[in-house]
Structure 1
Amino acid sequence: MKLNYRDRIVLTIVIVVLVWVAGVMLFIKPKIESLQDSQAALDDAKATLADLKERNKADKDLKKRIQDAYLEVNKMTESFYSVQANQHASQEVDNLLETAKIENLDMSVSAYTPYTIQPYEYVSTKAVTEIDTTVQDYINQSEPITPDTADAEAGAKGEAVAAPAIIGSYEVSFSYKGKIDDVEKFCNDLQNSTKAKSMKTMIVKNVDFMFSAETDKDGKTVTEDVVNEKTGDKSTKPKVSDTDVEGNMTLIMMVVEKLPDYNDK
C-alpha cells in the first residue's frame, strides 16, 4: 500500500511521539524518580544534621557538667567514712577516744549494715474532722494538702522531694572509762561537728555511765567509813569519784563507697 505525502507526515509524527514517550518512560521518568528519592534523602539528612547540631549544642559543656557533678557528689561523700575493714573502723573510733582522753576498755564492730536516714518526720497535732476536710475542699476546689500528700504535691510540681536514703554503716560498741566532762564533750562534739559538717558522720546511738570508785596510786579501791543513821553502825564502802565515770557506748559510723576518679580509664 502506497502512502501519500500527508500519510507519511502523520506516520512520522506518530513514530516520533512513540519514540519520545518510550524515551520518557525508559530514561527520563526513572531519572525523575531517582531525583525525587535523592531530594527526600537530602531532606532527611538535613533534618538529621539539624538534630545533631542541636544535641551537640546542648552537650557542648557536657564534660564540665560531668566534672561538676562528680565534684558535687564527691564533696557529699566526704561527709561520710569510706567503706573499710572492721579493724580499720575500730581504729578510727579508738583514735577519736584517745583524742578525747577516754579509755577504751573493749570494742566490737558489727558487720556492714544498711542504715536508713530519715530527712524529717512530721506528725500533725491538729485534730481535723471530716466536715473540716469537706469545707476546706469546697473552699479550695481541690484536694487539701496533708502530711501524707505533701510529697506527692511537691513532686507533681517538679520540686525536690525529701525521701529516706539508705547508706551503709558500722555499729561500734565499747566499754569505756574517763572523766564525766570528757565523755560529755566527746558526745557533744560528735553531734555538733556532724551538724556543722566539720567531721565525718558518726552519731551516738546509746550511752550510759556510772561514777567509778576512786583508786589510789597503786590501783587499789579507796574506801570510806559510813555511819548508818538509824542504827549508828559503822561500815566501809568504796569511795565514789565525783569526776570519773565508766559505762558503755554505741556509735553508728556511716560509710559510703568512694567514687573512682572520673579521669581514670
Structure 2
Amino acid sequence: MNFAKQSASTPQERREATRRVFLKLCVGAAATVLAEGLSEPFGVEAVAHELILPGLPKTLDGLRVAQLTDPHRGNLTPDAVIQAAVRRAAAWKPDLVVLTGDYVRWDPVDTHAFARMLAPLKPRLGIAGVLGNHDYQDPRRVAQLLTDIAGVRMLRNASEELAPGLHLAGIEDTWRGSPDPTKALKNVPDNAALLFLTHNPVGVRFVSDRPCLALAGHTHGGQFRVPGIAPHFPPGMEGFHQIDGWGTYDKARLYVSRGVGCTAYPIRLNCPPEVTLFTLRAA
C-alpha cells in the first residue's frame, strides 16, 4: 500500500496560492477604504477660527460668523449630513450665517428641501449667500426659493451693510455665472470692514487689493484624499492651487471650506465635511 501524500507543492501552485492571497488582501483593503469613505460624510466637523478683521469697529468685536457651503442636496449627499451640519452651526449661536453655493447637485427642485433644512438657524444678522456653479441650471429659481423659504439674502454681484462699519459683498460664480466685482463693491467704503463671498476660490483675485476676509467653497477639499497623490481640483480653477484652508492674496485673507456634501461620487476619504465658525476681532 502506498501511503505517500503529495505534501510539497510545485512552483506554479505556490505562485497561484500567493496570487490568491494577494487578491484577497486587495479586495479586503478596497472594501475597507470604501466603507471608510462612505461613512465619513456623517462625521461633520465644526472647525473654529478666530481672526482680526481689518476695519472692524470695536463695537463688533467678537462677532460670530458661520459658513455653510456645498451641501449638494440630491442623491449623493444624505439629508442627515446636511441636517447635522446645520445643527452644528445653530448650536454655536452665530450672529451671521453665510452660504457659499452649490445648494443642489443639479436639480433646482432640491432647493425646496435644502431651504427647509435651514429652519434651525436664527442668527440675529440673518442668512446671506451666493450661488455656486451647480445652482446655474436655474439660478433665478434657486435664489428665489432660498429667499422665500429660508429668508436668505442672495448677493448676486451685490453688497449690504450688516452694521455701521461692516459690509458683506458677494459675486456670481466665476465659472458659470457673470461675476461683476465692480458692481458688488460699489457701495462698500474703502475703509469699511469687508466680508466677501465667492463660491469659487479664484474670486479672491477680485478683492486682493483690499484688506478683507473672503470665504469660498467649491473644492470639497479634494473630497477623496489619498496620501502621496495630489488632490483633485474641480473645473474652473485653472492656475489656482489652494484646495482648502487659509491663504493670503496680497491684502486679502481667503478661507476655503471643505464643504458639506458630495458630488460625482458619494464618498469622502481623509476629507470630512465641515461647518466653519469664525470669531471676528477688532484690531
Q: TM-score range by the shorter chain?
A: under 0.3
TM-score (norm 1): 0.27
Higher relative contact order (CA 8 A, sep 6+): 2
TM-score (norm 2): 0.26
Bigger radius of gyration, 1 or 2?
1
